[in-house]
Chains A and B, each alone.
Chain A
Amino acid sequence: QKEVEQDPGPLSVPEGAIVSLNCTYSNSAFQYFMWYRQYSRKGPELLMYTYSSGNKEDGRFTAQVDKSSKYISLFIRDSQPSDSATYLCAMSAKSGGSNYKLTFGKGTLLTVNP
Protein backbone atom coordinates (compact mmCIF):
# COMPACT_ATOMS: atom_id res chain seq x y z
CA GLN A 1 0.00 0.00 0.00
CA LYS A 2 1.33 3.42 -0.96
CA GLU A 3 1.78 5.91 1.88
CA VAL A 4 -0.34 8.52 0.09
CA GLU A 5 -3.16 7.69 -2.31
CA GLN A 6 -4.75 10.24 -4.61
CA ASP A 7 -7.23 9.66 -7.41
CA PRO A 8 -5.52 10.93 -10.58
CA GLY A 9 -8.81 11.85 -12.24
CA PRO A 10 -9.12 13.54 -14.63
CA LEU A 11 -11.86 15.67 -13.14
CA SER A 12 -13.85 18.00 -15.39
CA VAL A 13 -16.36 20.48 -13.95
CA PRO A 14 -18.29 23.52 -15.20
CA GLU A 15 -17.29 26.99 -14.10
CA GLY A 16 -18.79 27.89 -10.74
CA ALA A 17 -18.93 24.31 -9.46
CA ILE A 18 -17.65 23.22 -6.08
CA VAL A 19 -14.68 20.92 -6.48
CA SER A 20 -13.65 18.30 -3.95
CA LEU A 21 -10.18 16.76 -4.12
CA ASN A 22 -9.12 14.04 -1.71
CA CYS A 23 -6.18 12.02 -0.47
CA THR A 24 -5.86 9.17 1.96
CA TYR A 25 -2.73 8.16 3.79
CA SER A 26 -1.47 5.26 5.84
CA ASN A 27 1.43 6.73 7.83
CA SER A 28 0.29 7.96 11.24
CA ALA A 29 3.55 9.90 11.60
CA PHE A 30 2.50 12.51 9.03
CA GLN A 31 2.21 15.85 10.83
CA TYR A 32 1.82 18.53 8.16
CA PHE A 33 -0.58 18.33 5.27
CA MET A 34 -0.26 20.42 2.15
CA TRP A 35 -1.89 21.06 -1.18
CA TYR A 36 0.19 22.09 -4.16
CA ARG A 37 -1.08 23.34 -7.50
CA GLN A 38 0.86 22.59 -10.66
CA TYR A 39 0.01 24.27 -13.93
CA SER A 40 1.03 22.57 -17.15
CA ARG A 41 4.76 22.88 -17.82
CA LYS A 42 5.37 24.57 -14.44
CA GLY A 43 6.68 23.55 -11.05
CA PRO A 44 4.32 22.90 -8.13
CA GLU A 45 3.40 25.86 -5.93
CA LEU A 46 2.15 25.64 -2.37
CA LEU A 47 -1.56 26.47 -2.01
CA MET A 48 -2.26 25.68 1.60
CA TYR A 49 -0.90 23.76 4.53
CA THR A 50 -2.43 22.59 7.77
CA TYR A 51 -1.09 20.97 10.90
CA SER A 52 -4.07 19.80 12.90
CA SER A 53 -7.36 18.15 12.16
CA GLY A 54 -10.12 20.50 11.09
CA ASN A 55 -10.70 23.09 8.41
CA LYS A 56 -8.56 25.92 7.13
CA GLU A 57 -9.96 28.47 4.75
CA ASP A 58 -8.19 30.79 2.32
CA GLY A 59 -10.47 32.64 -0.07
CA ARG A 60 -12.21 30.13 -2.30
CA PHE A 61 -10.09 27.26 -0.97
CA THR A 62 -10.74 25.14 2.11
CA ALA A 63 -8.37 22.44 3.32
CA GLN A 64 -9.76 19.78 5.59
CA VAL A 65 -7.85 17.20 7.60
CA ASP A 66 -9.31 14.21 9.42
CA LYS A 67 -6.43 12.49 11.19
CA SER A 68 -8.65 9.81 12.71
CA SER A 69 -9.68 8.67 9.22
CA LYS A 70 -6.32 9.53 7.63
CA TYR A 71 -8.11 11.59 5.02
CA ILE A 72 -7.51 15.08 3.68
CA SER A 73 -9.55 17.17 1.29
CA LEU A 74 -9.30 20.38 -0.68
CA PHE A 75 -12.50 22.18 -1.61
CA ILE A 76 -12.61 24.86 -4.28
CA ARG A 77 -15.70 27.06 -4.30
CA ASP A 78 -16.91 28.96 -7.35
CA SER A 79 -14.29 27.24 -9.50
CA GLN A 80 -12.78 29.25 -12.33
CA PRO A 81 -11.10 28.19 -15.60
CA SER A 82 -7.87 29.54 -14.09
CA ASP A 83 -8.13 26.79 -11.45
CA SER A 84 -7.48 24.21 -14.17
CA ALA A 85 -4.30 22.47 -13.06
CA THR A 86 -3.00 19.35 -11.36
CA TYR A 87 -3.50 19.38 -7.60
CA LEU A 88 -1.06 17.40 -5.49
CA CYS A 89 -1.49 16.57 -1.86
CA ALA A 90 1.67 16.28 0.19
CA MET A 91 2.41 15.22 3.74
CA SER A 92 5.45 15.49 5.91
CA ALA A 93 6.86 13.38 8.68
CA LYS A 94 10.15 13.42 10.58
CA SER A 95 12.95 11.67 8.77
CA GLY A 96 15.94 11.59 11.07
CA GLY A 97 16.95 14.36 13.46
CA SER A 98 15.05 17.55 12.77
CA ASN A 99 14.52 16.79 9.09
CA TYR A 100 11.08 16.30 7.65
CA LYS A 101 10.40 14.30 4.49
CA LEU A 102 7.69 15.31 2.03
CA THR A 103 5.62 12.57 0.41
CA PHE A 104 3.38 13.56 -2.50
CA GLY A 105 0.25 12.06 -3.94
CA LYS A 106 0.29 11.47 -7.69
CA GLY A 107 -1.94 14.48 -8.33
CA THR A 108 -5.45 15.02 -9.67
CA LEU A 109 -5.85 16.76 -13.03
CA LEU A 110 -8.69 19.27 -12.81
CA THR A 111 -10.27 21.06 -15.77
CA VAL A 112 -12.82 23.83 -15.18
CA ASN A 113 -14.84 24.48 -18.31
CA PRO A 114 -16.14 28.00 -19.07
Chain B
Amino acid sequence: DSGVTQTPKHLITATGQRVTLRCSPRSGDLSVYWYQQSLDQGLQFLIQYYNGEERAKGNILERFSAQQFPDLHSELNLSSLELGDSALYFCASSPGTRLAAYNEQFFGPGTRLTVL
Protein backbone atom coordinates (compact mmCIF):
# COMPACT_ATOMS: atom_id res chain seq x y z
CA ASP B 1 0.00 0.00 0.00
CA SER B 2 1.62 3.25 -1.19
CA GLY B 3 -0.39 5.50 1.12
CA VAL B 4 -1.97 7.32 -1.83
CA THR B 5 -5.73 6.87 -2.09
CA GLN B 6 -7.94 7.42 -5.10
CA THR B 7 -11.69 7.41 -5.45
CA PRO B 8 -13.70 6.06 -7.07
CA LYS B 9 -12.10 2.79 -8.17
CA HIS B 10 -14.36 2.48 -11.17
CA LEU B 11 -16.44 4.99 -13.06
CA ILE B 12 -18.78 4.30 -15.96
CA THR B 13 -20.33 7.24 -17.73
CA ALA B 14 -21.60 8.39 -21.11
CA THR B 15 -20.06 10.56 -23.79
CA GLY B 16 -20.48 14.26 -23.18
CA GLN B 17 -20.61 13.89 -19.42
CA ARG B 18 -18.33 15.35 -16.76
CA VAL B 19 -16.63 13.42 -13.95
CA THR B 20 -14.37 14.22 -11.02
CA LEU B 21 -11.61 11.94 -9.80
CA ARG B 22 -10.22 12.41 -6.33
CA CYS B 23 -6.77 11.77 -4.88
CA SER B 24 -5.39 11.98 -1.36
CA PRO B 25 -1.57 12.04 -1.26
CA ARG B 26 0.64 10.33 1.29
CA SER B 27 0.81 12.12 4.59
CA GLY B 28 3.33 14.95 4.33
CA ASP B 29 3.69 14.85 0.54
CA LEU B 30 3.21 18.26 -1.07
CA SER B 31 3.36 17.28 -4.74
CA VAL B 32 0.57 15.54 -6.60
CA TYR B 33 0.78 14.25 -10.17
CA TRP B 34 -1.91 12.94 -12.47
CA TYR B 35 -1.29 10.33 -15.17
CA GLN B 36 -3.44 8.66 -17.80
CA GLN B 37 -2.71 5.05 -18.77
CA SER B 38 -4.16 3.48 -21.89
CA LEU B 39 -3.15 0.44 -23.91
CA ASP B 40 -2.08 2.39 -26.97
CA GLN B 41 -0.42 5.40 -25.30
CA GLY B 42 1.00 3.89 -22.14
CA LEU B 43 1.42 6.01 -19.02
CA GLN B 44 1.17 9.70 -19.89
CA PHE B 45 1.88 12.56 -17.50
CA LEU B 46 -0.99 15.03 -17.34
CA ILE B 47 -0.27 17.64 -14.67
CA GLN B 48 1.57 18.34 -11.40
CA TYR B 49 0.58 20.43 -8.41
CA TYR B 50 2.79 21.48 -5.55
CA ASN B 51 1.25 22.82 -2.36
CA GLY B 52 -1.81 24.10 -4.19
CA GLU B 53 -0.07 25.57 -7.22
CA GLU B 54 0.24 24.15 -10.69
CA ARG B 55 3.90 23.29 -11.37
CA ALA B 56 4.06 21.36 -14.63
CA LYS B 57 1.79 20.40 -17.47
CA GLY B 58 2.08 17.41 -19.72
CA ASN B 59 -0.26 16.04 -22.34
CA ILE B 60 -3.41 17.33 -20.70
CA LEU B 61 -6.39 18.16 -22.89
CA GLU B 62 -8.19 21.49 -22.50
CA ARG B 63 -11.32 19.53 -21.50
CA PHE B 64 -9.41 18.31 -18.44
CA SER B 65 -8.53 20.39 -15.43
CA ALA B 66 -7.19 19.76 -11.97
CA GLN B 67 -6.73 21.50 -8.66
CA GLN B 68 -5.08 20.88 -5.32
CA PHE B 69 -6.86 22.01 -2.20
CA PRO B 70 -5.44 23.45 1.07
CA ASP B 71 -5.61 20.01 2.69
CA LEU B 72 -3.44 18.81 -0.26
CA HIS B 73 -5.97 16.45 -1.78
CA SER B 74 -6.41 16.88 -5.50
CA GLU B 75 -9.21 16.50 -8.00
CA LEU B 76 -9.02 15.85 -11.72
CA ASN B 77 -12.04 17.06 -13.66
CA LEU B 78 -12.78 15.53 -17.05
CA SER B 79 -15.52 17.14 -19.13
CA SER B 80 -17.21 16.61 -22.50
CA LEU B 81 -16.06 13.03 -22.25
CA GLU B 82 -15.26 11.06 -25.38
CA LEU B 83 -14.88 7.33 -25.95
CA GLY B 84 -11.14 7.82 -26.21
CA ASP B 85 -10.96 9.14 -22.66
CA SER B 86 -11.59 5.63 -21.36
CA ALA B 87 -8.42 4.76 -19.46
CA LEU B 88 -6.85 4.25 -16.07
CA TYR B 89 -6.12 7.49 -14.27
CA PHE B 90 -3.39 7.43 -11.65
CA CYS B 91 -2.47 9.92 -9.04
CA ALA B 92 1.02 9.95 -7.55
CA SER B 93 2.54 11.97 -4.75
CA SER B 94 6.04 12.90 -3.66
CA PRO B 95 7.53 15.03 -0.89
CA GLY B 96 9.03 17.83 -2.98
CA THR B 97 8.63 19.92 -6.11
CA ARG B 98 10.94 18.16 -8.50
CA LEU B 99 9.50 15.54 -10.85
CA ALA B 100 12.66 13.48 -10.60
CA ALA B 101 13.29 9.92 -9.66
CA TYR B 102 15.23 10.68 -6.51
CA ASN B 103 12.14 12.46 -5.37
CA GLU B 104 10.27 9.18 -5.67
CA GLN B 105 6.68 9.26 -6.79
CA PHE B 106 4.26 6.95 -5.02
CA PHE B 107 1.31 5.88 -7.12
CA GLY B 108 -2.24 5.30 -6.01
CA PRO B 109 -4.32 2.31 -7.15
CA GLY B 110 -5.95 4.26 -9.98
CA THR B 111 -9.46 5.02 -11.19
CA ARG B 112 -10.72 3.04 -14.15
CA LEU B 113 -12.88 5.28 -16.32
CA THR B 114 -15.15 3.78 -18.95
CA VAL B 115 -16.94 6.12 -21.32
CA LEU B 116 -19.83 4.50 -23.20
Q: Which residues of A contact B (CB under 8 A)?
A: 31-34, 41-46, 49, 51, 88, 90, 92, 95-96, 98-107
Contacts and interface: CB of A to CB of B under 8 A. Distances in A.
A43 B48 CA distance: 17
B34 interface: no
Contacts of B110: 42-43
Contacts of B42: 88, 104-107
18 contacts: A32-B100, A32-B101, A43-B107, A44-B90, A46-B105, A49-B101, A49-B104, A90-B101, A92-B99, A95-B56, A95-B99, A96-B56, A98-B97, A100-B100, A101-B99, A104-B42, A104-B43, A106-B41
Given A99-B97, A100-B99, A106-B42, A46 B104 contact: yes
B25 interface: no
